[in-house]
Structure 1
Amino acid sequence: MAEKKDVVIIGAGAAGMMCAIEAGKRGRRVAVLDHAKAPGEKIRISGGGRCNFTNIHAGPKNFLSANPHFSKSALARYTPRDFLALVEKHGIAWHEKTLGQLFCDHSAKDIIKMLLSETAEVHAELRLETTIESAERHGAGFRVMTDEGPIDAQSLVVASGGKSIPKMGATGLAYRIAEQFGLGMIETRPGLVPLTLDPAQLETVGELAGVAADAEARSGKTAFREAVLITHRGLSGPAILQVSSYWREGQEIVLRLMPDIDIAAILKEMRRTHGKQAVQTALGDILPRRLAQFFADGAKLTGRQLADLSDKTINQLATSIQAWTIKPAGSEGYRTAEVTLGGIDTNGLDSRTMQARAVPGLYFIGECVDVTGWLGGYNFQWAWASGFAAGQDA
């Protein structure tokens, strides 16, 4: 005999637990299934262990999707302020970093404990280390086969994430279930991911590994302003992770280092006041010293004095720094990607409830859906909002 539940949720991450809480508040009998040993593993490692749990500026403009309007309903119905109220209800200390990013003062585990507490309060059952063998239509509802036996449910919510960080258990299960039930897919690829350089490029910039600088990183018409970090594999740092979601293989990235200042004007003034200063030394007052040496060497100006440089040479040097064009070879892939771009086509889902239009009772939430946020708490807000939306209906 199959066990009976009102709602079965596959995935005990941010979206799945939020959905369980909301469905449980409605008196629904809920079981949350996950093959992992612990719930909320992506929450635990996020934000350097302090969980960037939302962003106060989160809105549709901060998300990528083939349908940019799809996220509007869920994000409007469950806002960053709503989640912050839950955090404060549980007495979790938090702080705001740059650009509206909210973090726990102490540990990401505080968010997991909060979600588990809320889940227990509504008597939603959490079953870890449970293998999902299949999920099928059964009568008016669904039958989920697990290694512990079958469970029948009126509603099935899939919250098992995307392909990013497979070492944390990412499997692509949600996509297989979606395709099984006839839902469309948008091409998936790694997002918020470091970019790699080919061996020839690395030979040129390899000496800069570990150097970080303030920059604007641009791919096509999209640009982000934060730190860029040069690594032994290529480019990383917040600005690169952000722009990686817009970059496609074969395209160039343009870096505007020190975007707040006019490097050419500064060098011309230094030429007037400190003309005997070596070019690399002068640049070292503007850029990290290894970067200064790199650009001086690249322009074959190392050892020359500022007084020897024409306006044209200074302008060319400044352009090499503030329009530094690099063509990445690729990305580090799902191994280090924070999110999966693409996923289940939103045309097949109801934006208000996250229910599959053609399969009543089947819902998809969180990262598996073709809604991907910027770096900085946006993807967690989508998890909370989409989980909330499904929880009101499942």
Structure 2
Amino acid sequence: MSRQTHWDNIILGAGAAGMMCATQSGGRTLVLDHAKAPGEKIRISGGGRCNFTNMYAGPENFLSANPHFCKSALSRYTQWDFIDMVARHGIAYHEKTLGQLFCDNSAKDIIAMLQAEMTQAGAALWLETQIVNVTHDGTTFNVEVEKSGKRESLTCTNLVLATGGKSIPKMGATGLAYDVARQFGLTVTDTRAGLVPFTFSDGRFKAISGVAHPVRAAANGTSFEEAMLFTHRGLSGPAMLQISSYWWESQPISLNLFPDGSPFDTLRNRRQEQGRRNLTTELATLLPSRLVDHLSETMDLSGNLADQSDAALQALCDQLQNWELLPSGTEGYRTAEVTLGGIDTDGLSSKTMEAKAVLGLYVIGEAMDVTGWLGGFNFQWAWSSGWAAGQAIAAKRG
């Protein structure tokens, strides 16, 4: 018969949110994860340097069926609170762009910091541990696990779902949190890949793969002004990842190749000065030449500047600032940085992250229907929601 061990708190998932919660929850806390090392998504994030937060993080940077849900946690544990923790541990960091903060050295510094904080809080960590089954008898949770080929039955007063969403399955991402949530009567909204590159089935951008250019990308009334990257499969880069979270299948996206303003005056002035030059030659001074070659396949860029009337130049500029494309889809969860949707926040307390109908059950991080923009916002949600749940759990003990 397997040995049964009781813990005050069991946290499923040793990612950003789970480890953060463990630093705050107090009591006898156990963190379980199937991976060989904690914080694997932290380790690979930001090119290995971890974009751990954003100086401008606020509720407006998050998507959710209930846009107000994230306000409480974000206001009580802010980006500045996490930055203070980073500074206390002597981790050097820098702002890359748009308030995005990265480690100077390595993302592993953030993982080591969280592990040190967990150790100081007395939390235990079991890795390479599979969750077999979760039940609840009305007062106590039973978590059956398999570790080193042996099954063990653990019990706890508080259970925290911190296993994330479905993004990047090659790292072990599953829908475990959703399955457990449904088991206890919580609603799970439809999920889809977010912060993910677009694909085009006809491979139309293969010839210009690797070309990057700043754009303003728009979909469903929302726009982002950042870099776009053409790939052999479609479109990537920060602007595309951002707008993918607002895009729905079978809908077009609109690209403004001149987000800083129309090139009309520039082209008209050059027509007066150098009218004999080819239109494509002049455009290639304003856009990547390979992109101009690609555009010439679908837009009329023939002739010299002198051949272009004001009306023709204006029409061309309008095309270049409203280039409409219809993606076939996205690369899906395989490369998505986040999962949109998840455990419905209507069933959770925005202050404590506790399930309203199942006392002692908490949901934090990406598992719930709160998704941040690209740029450190999702990590900030992990820190804020993990902290809120940890504090609420600790407060129960008095």
Are the aligned partners of 1:213 and 1:258 in contact in 2 as well (CA < 8 Å)? no
The one-letter amino acid of 2:49's match is R
Q: Report the Cα distance in structure 2 between the residues aligned to 1:211 and 1:276, rounded to whole angstroms.
A: 28
TM-aligned CA deviation for residue 88 of structure 1: 0.2
1:99 aligned counterpart, secondary structure: coil
1:257-279 C-alpha deviation (Å, 9 max, x unpaired)? 12103212211111011111111
Which position in structure 2 is the counterpart of 1:264? 264
Which position in structure 1 is the counterpart of 2:280? 280
Would you say 1:159 and 2:158 are equivalent positions? no
Q: Report the Cα distance in structure 2 between the residues aligned to 1:220 and 1:119, rounded to whole angstroms.
A: 42
- Written as runs of structure 1 = structure 2, the 5 A alignment for 1:102-113 is 102-113=101-112
TM-aligned CA deviation for residue 297 of structure 1: 4.2
TM-aligned CA deviation for residue 40 of structure 1: 0.2
Unmatched segments (≥5 aa) in structure 1: none
TM-aligned CA deviation for residue 152 of structure 1: 0.9
Are the aligned partners of 1:238 and 1:375 in contact in 2 as well (CA < 8 Å)? yes
Q: Root-mean-square deviation (CA), in Å?
A: 1.0
Q: Report the Cα distance in structure 2 between the residues aligned to 1:261 and 1:340, rounded to whole angstroms.
A: 34
The percent identity for this pair of structures is 58
The one-letter amino acid of 1:12's match is A
Q: Report the Cα distance in structure 2 between the residues aligned to 1:340 and 1:97, rounded to whole angstroms.
A: 24
Would you say 1:329 and 2:328 are equivalent positions? yes
Q: What TM-score do the two structures reach when normalised by structure 2?
A: 0.95
TM-aligned CA deviation for residue 295 of structure 1: 2.6
* Aligned structure 1 segments of 4 or more residues deviating by more than 6 angstroms: none
1:227 aligned counterpart, secondary structure: strand
The count of aligned residue pairs is 387
Q: Report the Cα distance in structure 2 between the residues aligned to 1:221 and 1:326, rounded to whole angstroms.
A: 15
1:143-193 C-alpha deviation (Å, 9 max, x unpaired)? 111114111111000100100000011011000000000001111000000
2:369 aligned counterpart, secondary structure: coil
Would you say 1:393 and 2:392 are equivalent positions? yes
Are the aligned partners of 1:63 and 1:371 in contact in 2 as well (CA < 8 Å)? yes
Q: Report the Cα distance in structure 1 between the residues aligned to 2:137 and 2:11, rounded to whole angstroms.
A: 16
2:17 to 15, 20, 26: 15
The one-letter amino acid of 2:305's match is L
Which position in structure 2 is the counterpart of 1:208? 208
The one-letter amino acid of 2:24's match is E
Would you say 1:246 and 2:249 are equivalent positions? no
TM-aligned CA deviation for residue 139 of structure 1: 5.1
Q: Report the Cα distance in structure 2 between the residues aligned to 1:95 and 1:9, rounded to whole angstroms.
A: 31
Q: Report the Cα distance in structure 2 between the residues aligned to 1:127 and 1:313, rounded to whole angstroms.
A: 67
The one-letter amino acid of 2:6's match is K
1:132 aligned counterpart, secondary structure: strand
TM-aligned CA deviation for residue 73 of structure 1: 0.5
TM-aligned CA deviation for residue 311 of structure 1: 1.3
- Written as runs of structure 1 = structure 2, the 5 A alignment for 1:1-394 is 1-24=3-26, 28-138=27-137, 140-147=139-146, 148-199=151-202, 202-203=203-204, 205-302=205-302, 304-394=303-393
2:189 aligned counterpart, secondary structure: strand
Q: Report the Cα distance in structure 2 between the residues aligned to 1:222 and 1:358, rounded to whole angstroms.
A: 35
2:293 aligned counterpart, secondary structure: helix
TM-aligned CA deviation for residue 121 of structure 1: 1.0
1:222-263 C-alpha deviation (Å, 9 max, x unpaired)? 000000111111111100100000000011100001210321
The one-letter amino acid of 1:64's match is L
Unmatched segments (≥5 aa) in structure 2: 394-398
